Amino acid sequence: MSKLIARFAKNESGATAIEYGLIAGIMAVALIAAFAVLSPQLLKTFTDIANKMKVTS
């Protein structure tokens, strides 16, 4: 029984998965915040590009 507990205590794969999950979550929040801040400028930029690409007939 003590070997089972010792093996369970040494197993770090679950902790690693949680750490990767936290990092991914933090990155997602940062990207969403960046897009929210930059979206007006991005919209203007793409609108300007679209207007310049319009074919006049």
What tens-digit pLDDT sequence spans the chain (57 residues)?
Answer: 778 777 766 776 777 888 889 999 999 999 999 999 989 998 999 999 999 998 765
Query: Mapping DSSP to helix (H, G, I), strand (E, B) and coil, where does residue 12 land?
Result: coil
Write down the residue that tokens 């007939």 correspond to.
57
Question: Residue 57 has what pLDDT?
Answer: 53
Which class for 17: exposed (0-12), middle (13-18), buried (19 or more C-beta within 10 A)?
A: exposed
Taking the complete model, does pTM exceed 0.75, yes or no? no
